[in-house]
Structure 1
């Protein structure tokens, strides 16, 4: 990892509860020298305000300048949000857009959620130059599914944006400890979230974020029930091969060589995870192993373009792609097996 990327992670990402789950690995390295971005317990709210959210996005007027004559035309129907410390444009919107500042919508609301609860901040950060931000709260202790040997941490992910990519969202997710991956709490489902649009009437809905605590409470039991069902689902070597064929089909022989090479590489990578990688192989031969293989491949093997792996993975968590990934894997596996996964409930959800 380059020095520049390391510096970016230290100044834009704060990681907590390292005494419980270890230092974040593979795509989040601990800062060497200077102020660490790792905390043995919960990330202090004061540090989030000081290190990440020490600025507020400012709405500026939008003007157009003719490249030849230099004539300037102002557009009163639009506004551009500027990050004042870097003078970078985060997003351009119509005048009805209401920006949700990070301090009240993420930190303030999260502090309300933390009142009279055992939750603490497990991570917080900025993405896309500050255009997207998140704060994630977690329970203090790691959960263990003893019969499956799966350790996980249920959490609530609060995120919003100034580039139009994301409504303010409070959603439940799960951190899988063995691979430091984000997974959907309802593996075979999407949803389980509260969204607030960036409109003039949105400020009156801040109190609704308190309801999101119910999502964390339900996350652990839902995740554990689905993992147990997947563990009870046998996947034979023949069925695994059929799944790989459906997940990464080989192109026709006359396809472009690069297309064939990419497909073969994808198949080889996930097969290696299935057979030998400690993040996946302990569960080979089960439906959980299939979900774990695809999720781990997407986090740590899939190619990255135009950003860092750390930022790409976190963006997937906040925009719902992780939910779609896990639900899609279960739906595909159900079709390949042509039988219910675990109990009938999962099959009905995935169908």
Structure 2
């Protein structure tokens, strides 16, 4: 994980629909440069291409040199190649010759553009790691609100990389308005899909899989609303919460730094569970537990090697949020000794 600066995030990420959801965590007017990165409404496709994806990655050779008693020896490896960002000269990755570049305009913008209409628009897009990682996120323009009072925006994100860290990935999720958290929209659905396409020569033949996947964003809203309803119906007592903590953040027996860190984390989680307005409406329910853990991870957990905004963006586009929420639900199911989320047909 790179150490993206606030200046980078303000100039290399675009945030839409701010009139409805407010500014992003990283927003700093003084770091915006010549053009603000926040849009009151949807982000125009042309702006994504112009501001973020105006450059084309190129391939280079792999050469090296080393010093011996006979002088300098130079070698070239014909089995490998570099991927270079030409406008900055940065080497983004070194790969075997079979690595297939998934160029951002084609794999992110062009595929996403096929589903944009009056009901779907670009809500965010950006570059991380000097341009080695990129995403485009499509959202419904209007906020959805469940009967339980959970306001959210369903999305479909398309992401890929030029450093080999991420296959081209298309998946759904939900952004909560109350805290700007990203939650999974796939926990309760047997049909929810995450499409991943590797950077191989055969990858171009799988474009049809992408086109099929892009039709699921409307279903994501229904999936998430169903999750919320089921989770809010499950009661979680204070004793259940303490038992959940024992499973989620066990206390080491040794009185050393590890125990102190665990105790600090448990106190922070309990404070969210009992006092925080981002959790309070659903206190005493399984959704409240999910919201507590998710909020702590997004806004309270110690972040090393990156700024918090970058870590949260990375979690969203790689699908780590699905793993986070699923682990939370599975731990709570063990404590309650019952299934929480039935699988939708």
TM-score category, normalised to shorter length? over 0.9
Q: Superposition pairs for residues 295-314 of structure 1, below 5 Å?
A: 295-314=294-313
Q: Deviations over 1:71-93 (max 9, x none)?
A: 11100111111111221111111
Verify: 1:73 aligned to 2:67, yes or no: no
Q: Deviations over 1:299-327 (max 9, x none)?
A: 11111111111111111112221100001
Verify: 1:319 aligned to 2:318, yes or no: yes
Do 2:171 and 2:319's aligned partners in 1 also have CA atoms closer than 8 Å?
Answer: no
Q: Note the residue ranges of structure 1 that are not aligned, 5 or more in a row.
A: none
Q: Deviations over 1:90-126 (max 9, x none)?
A: 1111001101010111111111121x55210000001
Match of residue 19 from structure 2? 19
CA distance in 1, matches of 2:72, 2:145: 65
Superposed CA RMSD: 1.9
Query: What's the secondary structure of 2:328's corresponding residue?
Result: helix
Q: 1:182 to 1:85 in 2, by over 3 A?
A: same
Match of residue 51 from structure 1? 51
CA distance in 2, matches of 1:193, 1:67: 49
Do 1:7 and 1:31's aligned partners in 2 also have CA atoms closer than 8 Å?
Answer: no
Do 1:81 and 1:89's aligned partners in 2 also have CA atoms closer than 8 Å?
Answer: yes
Match of residue 132 from structure 2? 131
Query: What's the secondary structure of 2:53's corresponding residue?
Result: coil
Q: Which moved more, 1:28-37 or 1:171-180?
A: 28-37
Q: Superposition pairs for residues 112-191 of structure 1, below 5 Å?
A: 112-114=114-116, 116=117, 118-146=119-147, 148-187=148-187
CA distance in 2, matches of 1:314, 1:62: 32
Q: Which moved more, 1:15-24 or 1:223-232?
A: 15-24
Deviation at 1:19? 1.6
Deviation at 1:31? 2.8
TM-score between the two structures when normalised by the length of structure 2? 0.93
Match of residue 287 from structure 2? 288
Query: What's the secondary structure of 2:79's corresponding residue?
Result: strand
Match of residue 203 from structure 2? 202
TM-score between the two structures when normalised by the length of structure 1? 0.91
Aligned length: 337
Q: Segments of 4+ in structure 1 off by > 4 A?
A: 188-191
